[in-house]
Structures are given as structure tokens and as C-alpha cells.
Structure 1
Amino acid sequence: MYRRYRTAGLVLGAIFLASVGMNGMDAQASGLGDSLNTGVASNFSQAADTEELTQATAEVVWTGTPLEGYVNIAIANVEDNLNIRASADGSSQLVGKLRKNGACEILGSEGEWSHIRSGEVEGYVKTEYLYTGQEAVDLAFQLGQTVARVNTDSLYVRMEPSTDADYWTKVPSGEELQVIEEMEDWVKVDIDGEDGYVAAEYVDVTSELDTALTLSEALYGEGVTDVRIAICDFAQDYVGNRYVWGGTSLTKGADCSGFVLAVYRNFGISLPHSSRAQANCGTKISVGDVKPGDLIFYGNGKRINHVAMYIGGGRVVHASNPRTGITISNMYYRSPVSAARILKD
């Protein structure tokens, strides 16, 4: 199980250690609460100037830290979302959005534009809206969120740290859960605002950064009406905004049912402010038959305690918890209880 590396200042320290003889070995930075496992694949002793040092650091894999997988990291310096274009032209096709403080890899530059890749999206953004260099590295360690990634086929999220305890839900392989606390044999996680526990041996704990959202309409599937696409696009515009218990504001904060209520309200549809009440609205449908814009409900067994909106491509958008706010998840990030169709198209 990997542990989060919290101290940004140790990056240069690790490089210094590597430069005095740790070629091709694992460097352990200890005595700081959490550990850093750094795989060094380049000889830093030859890095005599800044340019050579930059090249040398390109061979470093910061395992378990926010920098893992990045060579030339940049962070979005915007108030809401940064548009990602298909080419270095402000009038070119929009291919994605990088959320405030979202991370990307800089692949190159073209005038005032940077060629980036973030998550599944590759394209161009204005360089002026990016934090780069050491500033981006420092921010990455401040912004990284500790997550537990499931490394088994499916995993129970239990109500107490015991295999005898009841469980909230099951989550699939590869799903990421927000970490509250690391314990000896268990990891305490947030499951839509509830405390849950997963066995430490079945998760890898790492620090992750937000990445871009794709705008491909192919995710909606064939035969999806314009109103369904519109409501899904509208809901995704508020990803990254705050979770507030009892809230119904898309900008100032909403809880799960308040978020759904506010989105539908924008399209002239009234819903009650309760996930259990919303489950009785519209037409009940099978989870396997959901279309973009339909609602999916989650809970402990048959008791509903959370609602999300399906947006296509096996994903949902929802107000999850105070740590993540409004976010996008795999629709099976926990076990669905039921689904409802509100739109009558």
C-alpha cells in the first residue's frame, strides 16, 4: 500500500540524494510521517546545470505522489474551467475542459499556446492560464487528494473496520475512494458523506490530481435527444463546485438531491429535495436501461441515501461530499439501488 508524500520541498532533496550516488535505486525519504518511494532511472551526478537537471528529472517516477505519471506538469490557473481546443486557435473545436487547479502534462508549445494532455483529453490551451515549472510542482503537492484505488475485482466498503461489520456498498476494481484516515489494517474512506472502511490489502493509497473532462458527444450514445444532451452539459458545467448539506445552489453549494433539483429546475422541472423522494418521481426503470439525464440512486441495501445523474459513457455527475464537491464518477462506483426517468422525451 503506497502512502501519500506530503512535503513538496523534499522533491529537490530527493534529487540531491540521487545526485550523490543513488543511480537506478529506490530513495527512501523517512522520518517525515509518510514515505517517498522514488524510482531513479537517470544519473543526476552529471546534471551540472538547470537544463541538464530538467532532462534528468524526466526519468524520475514519483510513485504514490501527485507527480506520478508527469514529466512536465502544469496546473490550470483559472477561476472555473480552462477550454481545451483541438488546435492552437481560439476558434478551433472545443475538445475538453480543464477544471480549476486541474493538472496536465505539457507536450510542447506553439506560440502563446501549450499542447497538453490531461486524462483522456489532448489539445491546446493558452499558456498564460497555466502554472508551470517549480510553481506547478509545489501546487501539485498542495492540491493532491489522497485516494484509495481498489486493486481487486470488487471490494466491500464496511460500516466499521471489521470483516464482520455490515457494508455500505461494493465498489469495482480501479474505483478511487477519498481517504479520511489510514489505519493499520484498514483505510477509512468517504462514501458520499458517510464514513466507510476498506481492507488496506485490497487498495493502493496514492495522491491524485484532477484532470480534464472530455466533451465528446459520442459519450451520450445514439438516439439521445437534444434536451438530454443539454441537461447533461449544463450539469457538468458545475463540476468542481462546492458540496453543502441542505444546499440547492449550483454556485454556492448543494447536496446530492439539491444538485439534481437545481439542474432540473433550470429546465422547468420541479423535484423534491430528498433522494428518497426523488426516487419516487417520474418512471422507475432498470439501471441497465438508463439514458443521459436519468437519475440513479444508491444506498445501503434498499435504503436510498444518494442520487446522481447519468451522463452517458457509464458515468454519473453528482454532489458527492464536502471533499470532492460536485464530481463525475463511474456509475458503478458503488452499487446502484434503483433508477428513475424524469424526462418524457
Structure 2
Amino acid sequence: MIKNHKDTFGGMKVETAAASLETTEAVSESGEEKNIVLETTLSAEEIESKEFEKTVQSIVDSYANLGIAEVSGYLNVRKTPESFGEVVGKLPKGGACEILDTSTEGWYKISSGGVTGYVSSQYVYTGDEAKKLAAENVAERAVIDADKLNVRSEPKADADVVDQVFKNERYDIKSQQDGWIQISDGYISADYVTVKYALDEAIKQDMRQTVLSLYDNLGVSNVSNYLNVRDNPDETKGKIIAKLPSNAGCDILDTSTAGWLKIRSGNITGYVKSEYILTGQQAKDKALQVAKLMAISNTDGVNVRTEPNTNSSIYTQISNSERFLVADQQDGWVKIEIDDQDAYLSSDYVDVKYGLEEAIKYTPVVEVADTSNSKSNTKNSTGKSSSSSKSSGKKSSANDGAAGSKSGSVSSKRAQIANYAVQFVGNRYVYGGTSLTNGTDCSGFTMSVMAKFGVSLPHNSGAQSGSGKSITSSQMRPGDLVFYSGSGGINHVALYIGNGQVCHASNAKSGIKISTWNYRTPAKIVNVLGD
């Protein structure tokens, strides 16, 4: 007999049993206590609910000294109990941990998800409050069994890989279908996970070593500025479809064409000259040396704030998949440098991981006959007239020419300006500088590029914004200037190069780079050419 409830009424004890129907005599005249056992029948739903309650209690009880993170986004797990200590893991909101030590004021030493380190105690619930929160946060989760597992865009083996997850990480399950499990970022194969009820736990901060696991056959670009990626392994017939920055990572897909490698970098697949790609151990050593901690936005329109709190003013907004170097991590916030300004992103909307630069989609602008009299404005410093192939200056050995593209044709002058500007991608940013080769800031970059083509601009982004005719984004053409603002007004300028992209001198860490034209919310677009 399984007894599960007792009540005493007068001298009679009543017991209920899940699967029994027994009775005893009533209370005797002497007042001696007698047992009466009544059968209770539970529905399937009630049985399932009770089993779940047992499971939840078992999970909560498995922690000897339970702590639950209560913070927006995630809580940083640090190597040492200091606000500037190295971040070794991330404990998500509602994530559970085992509290190992509380002797350091303001800090708990914890263990969670294979990560051991220190967290700020002000963001961790303990005791009965932690148990109550834990009971609310138990859910069916996918626990990764493989060392690394691809996340795909669709539930099929040949779908695009959009991310990777790693051993012991836990993910909420959105749905399950035909051997695939849907998580927040896509689909993972059910063959390499364990599905069970569990609390969320910390995940390891992606250390430099994990960069190597992101590539099956790693290659790293070995150039000073950039390497052209072409659609065919031919310098003459192959059209440029992207640029691979210095020290960028790629997967080598094929080596069968002499002098060329077929690669995939980011979402770009194409061909590069093999002499400019490090492979094997050289590539691994270089990747570990140059890997950078990046904040990658995971949604469109992410607010960038001036301080690490939601009450501070919005500095700008950024687009999905934009990458920024991480300057610091605070609980719930990531400090970045956007262009030459410090700013903050909520950790809810970014993924922080070590990574390499990847290919940037790019196609040179094609020239058409210029109906305006721009001949006098397209001379180089020697006084000789510039053509498309000559206006870009001395050709770098890695920049093997400038193949044309049918993606857009503009006036000769505008095409020359855009293609000339791009040759300086990868060069240094220097505050107050104007040298395209030795260092320049944002307004110095646009000023110097335009000076090459006879257009005089002041060395100040705010002043440049008043130097021409204001236009809309639908009117924008290569050679136009795009301006961005912060809390104090316009503070950055970039040169539109076509195909939805700008070239600009960003900051000391990034140098001169190519970005999508609305990587920040544009404040103004100006035609300074007067055509």
C-alpha cells in the first residue's frame, strides 16, 4: 500500500492511497484509533504534473548551495574577483550555479556549466529565493554532446551553417522535427545532443583557441591591406566579388587549380591567389595571434547608448551582424568603440566571441562615359589624365587589378573616386591625420580622397556636411558623403562606394574599412560633386 496523505478526525485516522481500496473497522468504544484507507484516482495530467514536480525538486536539490543569476542579458564570470578581471564565462539570466565560496566581499566563487570563477554577488539570488526561481526556470533543454556542432538555417544537412555550439552548452528547445532541434539561432542535429529537463548554466567565454574550431581547413590572409576574392580563378576574366582583409580567416574548399584556392569566408565563396594565404600550422599560429574579442549584433536596430544603462541617451543604432571590437564587458553590457567613440550595447542583443575578420562583399564600380567636363578634375599629381586603372595608384601585389562588375555603372568621375578610395582599406586611422597611406581620421580621409579629384573640403565632418547639396538615400551615388551623428551632433563621415556600402576611416583599432552604408543610423547624405 502506498500512503500519501494523513488526516485525523476525532479518534479516526484517514489515509488515502494511490492504488488501494482497504477499510478497517470504525472507532471502537474504547476510543482506540482505527485505520480507514480510501482509494484516490489521479488523471494522466495530474500524474504527469506530479512527476514533473518531482523532477524539478530533484534538479533543485542537486545543487548543494544554489545560486540563480538575476540580471539583464548575462552575468560575467571572471577569473579573479575584480571588476576588471578576465571574463571566462557568461551566466545567463535565470542560470544556475553552485556557490563555492562567499568569503570575498561583493563576490561569489561559483561553478556552472564547467566554468569556475567569480561573479558579482549583487546579481545572484541564494537560499529559498533561489530555489523558488530555479523551480520556475526548469525547462526541457538540449545539452550539446559533441565538441562542436553546426547550427543550420534550416532542418537539413545541406542548409547554410549560421553558427556553432560547443560541448556541454545548454539551449532552450523551440521545436523538434525529423531528427532536428530548433534553438534560438537555427537548427541542430538531434544525434549530437541530450534532451532533458534542466536549469540553464554558464557557457565558457569563447577563448582564442576556439577560433580554430570554427574552420575545417583554416586559411589566413597574409596581406598588408586586402586580398581580392573573385568568382573565377582568373585575374582577367574573374570578377571581384569581395575583399579579404588582412589576417582574415577562411575555409579552404579546393586546391586543385594551380596558383588559386577556392575559399569560403563568412557568406562569401570564391577564389583567391594561393600565394597570399597561410595554411596548416602557419595559419593556426597566426589565427591564435590575431584573434580578437568581438561583439556581433544579433538583431536589427540595436540601440547603442552613451552609458551602460537604459536611462542613458541613445548614441546611434546598428544593423544585424555588424561586428565591433570589445573594449570591456560589464554585467549586462558590452563596451565597444564605434568609430572613434566609446559606447555600450546591451548584452541581450549581441554575441561576444573571439573571431577573425572575414570577407567583405564588394564589387568595383563600373565607369561609363562622363557627359560632364570632368577631365581637368581627374588628373593625378603628375598632371597626367587618370583612367580607371591608373587612378587607383600603385597596384599592391595582393590587389591584383580591378575587375569590372555589371552591378552598377556611374559617371567616370564617380567610379574613379569610389575605386580610388577602396585601395586604402586596411591602412591606419590617426586622429587629426590626413595621409591616406600613413594615417588619417574620418574627415581627413574624405578630404584627401576628394582632393585627388579637385574637390576641396574642410578637415571636419560637421563642416563637410554643409559643403554640398543634401540628398536622400534613394538619390545616393558613389562619391557622395554619408554623415553620422552622436549626442553632440555630426561626428563621423564616410564615402559611399556603391552597392550599399561606404568606405571610411573608422578608429585606431579598425583603420580604414568598408561597412554597410547604414551600419549606424545616417544623419545626412550630401552630394559634394555638384552634378
With normalisation by structure 1, the TM-score equals 0.78
Sort the Cα spacing of 1:79 and 1:221 in 2 relative to 1 into closer, same or farther, 3 A: closer
Pick from 131, 140, 161: which aligns with 2:278? Answer: 131
Match of 2:247 in 1: 101
Q: CA RMSD in A?
A: 2.9
Maintained 8 Å contact 1:83/1:94: no
In 2, the alpha carbon distance for the partners of 1:234 and 1:142 equals 31
Sort the Cα spacing of 1:191 and 1:39 in 2 relative to 1 into closer, same or farther, 3 A: farther
Deviation at 1:131, TM superposition (A): 1.0
2:416 matches 1:230: yes
Give the letter aligned to residue 158 of structure 1. Answer: R
Match of 1:251 in 2: 437
Maintained 8 Å contact 1:82/1:98: yes
Maintained 8 Å contact 1:150/1:202: yes
Give the letter aligned to residue 166 of structure 1. Answer: S
Sort the Cα spacing of 1:260 and 1:38 in 2 relative to 1 into closer, same or farther, 3 A: farther
2:147 matches 1:40: yes
Give the letter aligned to residue 305 of structure 1. Answer: N
Deviation at 1:216, TM superposition (A): 5.3
Maintained 8 Å contact 1:62/1:68: no
Sort the Cα spacing of 1:171 and 1:84 in 2 relative to 1 into closer, same or farther, 3 A: closer
Deviation at 1:187, TM superposition (A): 0.7
How is 1:1-345 mapped onto 2 (pairs within 5 angstroms)?
Answer: 30=115, 39-40=146-147, 61=164, 64=206, 65-67=210-212, 69-95=214-240, 96-109=242-255, 110-213=257-360, 214-215=362-363, 217=365, 222=408, 224-300=410-486, 303-345=489-531
In 2, the alpha carbon distance for the partners of 1:92 and 1:129 equals 20
Maintained 8 Å contact 2:148/2:165: no
Give the letter aligned to residue 40 of structure 1. Answer: D
Q: Which structure: larger Rg?
A: 2
Alpha-carbon deviations, 1:267-296, whole Å to 9, x = none? 121111000110011211124431111111
Alpha-carbon deviations, 1:233-263, whole Å to 9, x = none? 1111111111000000111010000010111
Deviation at 1:123, TM superposition (A): 3.0
In 1, the alpha carbon distance for the partners of 2:406 and 2:434 equals 26
Extract unaligned runs of 5+ from structure 2: 1-73, 77-112, 119-143, 150-162, 167-205, 367-404
Deviation at 1:76, TM superposition (A): 1.4
In 2, the alpha carbon distance for the partners of 1:187 and 1:41 equals 25
SS, match of residue 462 in structure 2: helix
In 2, the alpha carbon distance for the partners of 1:223 and 1:330 equals 19
Give the letter aligned to residue 70 of structure 1. Answer: Y
Looking at both structures, which has the greater relative contact order when contacts are Cα pairs under 8 Å and sequence separation is at least 6?
1
Give the letter aligned to residue 261 of structure 2. Answer: S
In 1, the alpha carbon distance for the partners of 2:253 and 2:260 equals 11
Alpha-carbon deviations, 1:300-343, whole Å to 9, x = none? 25710110111222221111111101111122211111111012
Match of 1:49 in 2: none
In 1, the alpha carbon distance for the partners of 2:307 and 2:488 equals 19
Sort the Cα spacing of 1:187 and 1:38 in 2 relative to 1 into closer, same or farther, 3 A: farther
Greater Cα shift, 168-177 or 264-273? 168-177
Count how many residue pairs are aligned between Structure 1 and Structure 2. Answer: 301
